């Protein structure tokens, strides 16, 4: 391929990534969210804020863990203020618990809906609102066309979207920027001391557009995420909630 053609293709690829929310940091500026080595999996090493993230919850334990991790990410997104919309059916979220992650309950607008059809419509309309920082919705079914509508909405509004899907098994492709699966992990204290430690998750990136997949252990500590080194003991067994 001629160098001139290669240069044009690279320029077009950079423009497409920016349209999809993968904006590279400015020269001399470190524009990271605070997810540690996990962020290197995304194009340009930047967490895509203006994109829709799909999080697969195969059971109740994963759904609870996913809600906690997403709340932590929202906390990082709203460090300079902002408002988030959380659309759910089950009302499992306990608003005062959001303070654990530094999110004040009055910064979140809760919407309860009874079926996926209403959830999809309300979510799309919310994703079109540029005044919001993030939109979280919980649903079960979402096809490729519906995910495309979500992605087009955030490309104009610059809102970050999180779709928590209560589904398992073989899932069809979507237009979301990334597909995650979050698993709860037991906390750990230094030197095996008894008691409860900091919240800990195993974050698996199953699909990343123009990035690479991987698995990391994240821990919430001192108002942010820290990465737990892979040589640390990892307990993959999931414990029942409740």
Secondary structure, 3-state, 76-126: HHCCCCCCEEEEECCCCCCHHHHHHHCCCHHHEEEEECCCHHHHHHHHHHH
pLDDT band of 229, cuts 50, 70, 90: confident
pTM of the complete model? 0.83
pLDDT band of 240, cuts 50, 70, 90: very low
CA-to-CA distance for 67 and 164, rounded, in angstroms?
Answer: 8
pLDDT band of 19, cuts 50, 70, 90: low
Asked if pLDDT for residue 205 goes beyond 90, the answer is: yes
Question: At 70, phi and psi to the nearest 5?
Answer: -65, -40
- Higher per-residue confidence, 91 vs 80: 80
- Identify the pLDDT of residue 191: 72
Tokens at 70, concatenated: 């997403």
The closest of 163, 164, 166 to 154, measured between CA atoms, is 163
The closest of 191, 193, 200 to 225, measured between CA atoms, is 200
Tokens at 25, concatenated: 């940091």
- Higher per-residue confidence, 74 vs 45: 74
- Identify the pLDDT of residue 26: 62
CA-to-CA distance for 126 and 159, rounded, in angstroms?
Answer: 9
- Identify the pLDDT of residue 168: 76
Question: In this predicted model, what pLDDT tens digit does every residue of 183-193 receive, in sequence order?
Answer: 999 888 777 77
In DSSP notation, 14-55 reads HHHHHHTT-PPPPTT-----S-GGGGGGSGGG---SSSEEEE
Asked if pLDDT for residue 50 goes beyond 50, the answer is: yes
CA-to-CA distance for 147 and 63, rounded, in angstroms?
Answer: 20
pLDDT band of 165, cuts 50, 70, 90: very high
Q: Indicate the average pLDDT of the chain.
A: 86
Contact 77, 224 (CB under 8 A): no
- Higher per-residue confidence, 201 vs 9: 201
Helices 116-127 and 144-157, packing angle to 10 deg: 20
Question: At 74, phi and psi to the nearest 5?
Answer: -60, -40
CA-to-CA distance for 48 and 100, rounded, in angstroms?
Answer: 24
- Identify the pLDDT of residue 80: 86
The closest of 23, 32, 38, 29 to 155, measured between CA atoms, is 23
- Identify the pLDDT of residue 200: 93
Contact 222, 216 (CB under 8 A): no
Question: In this predicted model, what pLDDT tens digit does every residue of 23-36 receive, in sequence order?
Answer: 666 655 667 888 88
- Higher per-residue confidence, 189 vs 177: 177
């Amino acid at each position: 391929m001629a160098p001139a053609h290669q240069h044009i293709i690279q320029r077009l690829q950079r423009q497409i990534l920016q349209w999809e929310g993968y904006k590279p940091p400015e020269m001399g500026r470190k524009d990271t969210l605070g997810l540690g080595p996990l962020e290197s999996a995304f194009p340009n090493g930047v967490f895509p804020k203006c994109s829709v993230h799909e999080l697969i919850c195969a059971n109740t334990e994963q759904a609870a863990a996913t809600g906690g991790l997403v709340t932590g990410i929202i906390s990082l997104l709203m460090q300079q203020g902002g408002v988030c919309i959380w659309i759910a059916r089950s009302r499992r979220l306990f608003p005062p618990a959001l303070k654990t992650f530094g999110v004040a309950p009055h910064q979140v607008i809760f919407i309860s809906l009874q079926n996926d059809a209403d959830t999809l419509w309300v979510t799309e309309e919310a994703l079109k609102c540029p005044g919001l920082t993030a939109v979280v919705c919980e649903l079960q079914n979402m096809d490729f066309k519906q995910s495309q509508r979500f992605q087009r909405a955030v490309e104009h509004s610059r809102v970050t979207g999180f779709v928590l899907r209560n589904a398992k098994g073989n899932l069809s492709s979507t237009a979301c920027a990334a597909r995650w699966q979050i698993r709860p992990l037991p906390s750990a204290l230094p030197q095996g001391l008894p008691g409860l430690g900091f919240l800990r998750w195993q974050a698996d990136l199953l699909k990343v557009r123009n990035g690479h997949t991987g698995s990391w252990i994240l821990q919430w500590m001192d108002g942010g995420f820290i990465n737990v080194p892979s040589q640390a003991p990892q307990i993959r067994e999931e414990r029942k909630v409740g």
